[in-house]
Structure 1
Amino acid sequence: MPIIGCIADDFTGGTDLANNLVKSGFRTVQTIGVPDTLPEDVDAIVIALKSRSIAAETAIAQSLAALDWLEGQGFEKFYFKYCSTFDSTPQGNIGPVAEALMHALGETQTVFCPAFPATGRTVYQGHLFVGDTLLNESGMQSHPLNPMTDANLVRWLAHQSEARTGLLPAEVIEAGEQAATDHLQAMNADGCPLVVTDTLSDAQLTTIARASRHLRLVTGGSGLALGLGALYEPPASAPADLPKAHGGALILAGSASQRTREQIAHAREHMPAQAVDPLSLAKDFEHTIERILAWAAPRLGAPLLIHSDTRPEIVEQAQHELGVTAAGELVERALAALAERLVARDIARLIIAGGETSGTIVNTLGIHSLRIGGEIDPGVPWTFADSNHGPLHLALKSGNFGAPDMFTRAWDLIND
């Protein structure tokens, strides 16, 4: 019987969650959107949506449709996955979607656990840290779509939600499963259905998973999945043995996050690279695409990097002249066009950086499901998929994930 049905608000986050479920022992499949049928021999399924930065009403509708399908397949536990940096505005989408899912399931409480200590995301006294830096001082305060200007998640969630929000503090979690369970139930009885969890270690993830076992719905980043294996003792699962890699290698980076900028800077010292300027795209989209293709054509034998131009003066000018959303969408559309045309020219190994970028490219390539392979860095596995142009090795990377040298080191895992 299927156990855990998951709804992810973007494609990179879905892969991140599927990776951690596999590490916890669950036989897991990730699908792009709601599938037609349930794959055989799975304990968990991750339905990846592109709902993080759309209108809250649309995100709710898509998430409820996914939940309806999961319930129809007999899943017993549900997991709403969002970014470990809680990417959302004061208007949503995390709170509104979580409340809608909770109400649809007839639940009176859920937890919010974005922490993933292995990637430096921890929560203490309700405040989200990236490494040793408060979220709103980590660079996320300048995110073009979902700027996070307050690290206090209890307060941020209260802006988005109609229900009361509260905190499951670290000292209660440290006291053990029963203390944490009692605290949750007391908060529920007191009319507090939305509970942010402090989390400082992987051990606390397991305690939170155990303490919330009575809840049909949990929400969070992918870290909480590392504790779920302790609840169900699933059949031992391992990353899939992916087919041998072939074809050319390409990195497409649409993220402007600090970590992706570091990865771009490192990769530019080791491989041919080309920046995509949104102002050039706005002036003549097809000419810009053809110019980059002409640059790439004689270089397809080795890894190539094509990335959005992240120089502050270019980003500021593009956002001023085109608008923040339009500038981002233009780059995503360009990277998707380049992906499609280069995959048709024998590119078969792809790293894609950025949730919105990954969603656009995966949809453009006609990918419907992913097999989860070995992990490059925490939260970033290699996957294998069929596309409109044949099989691909694919790594979908959240903007803030991965070591600075990930773009140059990742290929060794699939080239052996």
Structure 2
Amino acid sequence: MSNYALGAVADDLSGACDLAAGLTEAGLATVVLLGLPDEAPRADAAVVAQKTRTAPVAVAVSDSADAVRWLLDAGSDWIYQKYCSTFDSTADGNIGRVADAMAAVIEEHSPSGCFLSSVGTPATPAVGRTQYQGYLFVGDRLLSESSMRDHPLTPMRDSDLVRVLGDQTDVPVGLVPWPSVRMGTEDLVTAIDVAAGHGARHVLVDAITDDDLDRIAAALVDGERRRTCLISGAAGLGTALGRLLAARLDERSAEPALPAVVGDRRLIVAGSASERTREQEAAFSGLVLRLDPRDLVAGGDAVGVLLGTLGEALEASADPVLVTATTDPADVRAAQTELGAERAAALLETALGTVAARAVDTLGVTRILVAGGETSGAVARALGLRSLHVASVVGPGLAWMVSDDTRHPIGVLFKPGNFGNADLYTRAWESEP
């Protein structure tokens, strides 16, 4: 088995790739795992990609605990819980309950136990996510005033993360405010210890800059005593942790030789309902083929018809084609009202996964850009992907990955819904593998 400086469990595939991109840039050779293999691949860090953000709580808890056990058996020095930088949660809320379960597994493996269950922050300044006085900001707006307020699966109506996380766990949640962070690592260590002394088991830490994240990472990793079982957060803190751990490695794993991706047929698959994904679609000048969940239950073969049109387009031109379920919020609500939110989402995930798999298997597509966390997982399952390696970083949280699990090697870019510039659908191909 291998030995990882960092083992992470991500709540969806696009988030796993987001973290892998940051860890790779930080200097850690990183593998993304879709499932738990018998043998641990050689790397400095491993990120297990799951589908737990919107899963039933019992499933999310069980799957996450299994992943932690596997990472510990593989020799992971530190365990990281990776969630979205907008703290995406369902009404039942999975972040807190998953953190409880992951910390419990780590504590079982720790001879001296843990001082705290988790410490972390969703702050990722590189993409405009900051936390101040426990409130999460998206750009210059509170989370509850951003487009996440009306997300169809995980609407975020409360910006107070101490309150949000507190509703998801039975143990106390504490806060380390920004003044303690900016004073330096020693003051931050003291503030974390004080929060624990007041009974907190999960501690959220304010962060506004990348320097803040580096201080948090140092406060948690430096010293003889481990202050927390679990470090938790978005890609920002995970990347800061990667920078610290990479600087301490005596010997780093060699980057794997990536298989060549041959061919010029490109596909974009979009299932995200985010505002940024809609902007990216509006800026795309190529062919757009649209799927509506109501068409998928109306009889006929909507997917087959779309694939016929897609095949003709790919034969005629090397330009990328966009297959999308993205639409305006009013139309999303209308489909959810008619079909039910869960059924509408499941229909689209299955259809988009089928389109991607058929495009690779029979239409010669070798590079796919996928928008949306749930859609990314559906596409990966349909393609049968098991592991991914970073080929090139496109931008904050975005990386082309390569897999040879399919009939021929393919390049994939799994994009969190709100990530990327408006022209991503056009510019991403400039750094394709």
Q: How does 1:183-332 map to 2 (within 5 A)?
A: 183-213=191-221, 214=226, 215-228=228-241, 229-231=243-245, 233=247, 234=249, 242=258, 243-267=260-284, 270-284=285-299, 287-300=301-314, 301-332=318-349
Amino acid in the other structure paired with 2:234? G
Amino acid in the other structure paired with 1:230? L
Whether the 8 Å CA contact 1:249–1:347 is kept in 2: the answer is yes
CA distance in 2, matches of 1:176, 1:144: 40
CA distance in 1, matches of 2:55, 2:412: 25
Q: Which residue of 2 aligns with 1:96?
A: 97
Q: Which runs of 5+ in 2 are unaligned?
A: 108-113
Q: Which residue of 1 aligns with 2:7?
A: 5
User: Aligned with 2:301: secondary structure?
Assistant: helix
Q: Which residue of 2 aligns with 1:105?
A: 106
CA positional deviation for 1:309: 4.2
Task: Please identify, of 298-307 and 391-400, the stretch whose mean Cα deviation from structure 2 is larger.
Answer: 298-307
Q: Which residue of 1 aligns with 2:154?
A: 146
Cα deviation, 1:363-405, whole Å, max 9, x if unaligned, reads: 1101000011211120010000123332110000000111110
CA distance in 2, matches of 1:9, 1:34: 15
TM-score, normalised by the number of residues in structure 2: 0.92
User: Aligned with 1:394: secondary structure?
Assistant: strand
Whether the 8 Å CA contact 2:120–2:237 is kept in 1: the answer is no
User: Aligned with 2:120: secondary structure?
Assistant: strand
TM-score, normalised by the number of residues in structure 1: 0.95
Relative to structure 1, is the Cα distance of residues 237 and 303 closer, same or farther in structure 2, using a 3 angstrom cutoff? farther
Amino acid in the other structure paired with 2:87? F
Aligned partner of 2:189 among 181, 184, 202: 181
Q: Which residue of 2 aligns with 1:23?
A: 25
User: Aligned with 1:212: secondary structure?
Assistant: helix
Cα deviation, 1:27-67, whole Å, max 9, x if unaligned, reads: 11111021221112x11100111111011111010011111
Cα deviation, 1:101-127, whole Å, max 9, x if unaligned, reads: 112222341113111100111111111
Structure 1 position 157 matched with structure 2 position 174: no
Structure 1 position 123 matched with structure 2 position 131: yes
The count of aligned residue pairs is: 411
Whether the 8 Å CA contact 2:277–2:326 is kept in 1: the answer is no
Amino acid in the other structure paired with 1:256? A
Whether the 8 Å CA contact 2:44–2:253 is kept in 1: the answer is no
Aligned partner of 1:171 among 169, 179, 190: 179
CA positional deviation for 1:247: 3.4
User: Aligned with 1:160: secondary structure?
Assistant: coil
User: Aligned with 2:366: secondary structure?
Assistant: strand
Relative to structure 1, is the Cα distance of residues 239 and 258 closer, same or farther in structure 2, using a 3 angstrom cutoff? farther
Q: Which runs of 5+ in 1 are unaligned?
A: none
CA positional deviation for 1:244: 4.9
Q: Which residue of 2 aligns with 1:379?
A: 397
CA distance in 2, matches of 1:172, 1:245: 52
Relative to structure 1, is the Cα distance of residues 142 and 176 closer, same or farther in structure 2, using a 3 angstrom cutoff? same
User: Aligned with 2:235: secondary structure?
Assistant: coil
CA distance in 2, matches of 1:313, 1:144: 11
Aligned partner of 2:140 among 128, 132, 135: 132
Q: Which residue of 1 aligns with 2:71?
A: 70
CA distance in 2, matches of 1:25, 1:174: 26
CA distance in 2, matches of 1:198, 1:237: 33
CA positional deviation for 1:302: 1.8
Amino acid in the other structure paired with 1:21? L
Whether the 8 Å CA contact 2:148–2:155 is kept in 1: the answer is yes
CA positional deviation for 1:356: 0.6
Cα deviation, 1:318-361, whole Å, max 9, x if unaligned, reads: 10110011111111111011111111210010000011111011
CA distance in 2, matches of 1:231, 1:340: 37
CA distance in 2, matches of 1:294, 1:322: 26
Q: Which residue of 1 aligns with 2:50?
A: 49
CA positional deviation for 1:237: 8.0
Whether the 8 Å CA contact 2:120–2:231 is kept in 1: the answer is yes
CA distance in 1, matches of 2:352, 2:124: 29
User: Aligned with 2:240: secondary structure?
Assistant: helix
Task: Please identify, of 249-258 and 310-319, the stretch whose mean Cα deviation from structure 2 is larger.
Answer: 310-319
Whether the 8 Å CA contact 1:22–1:238 is kept in 2: the answer is no
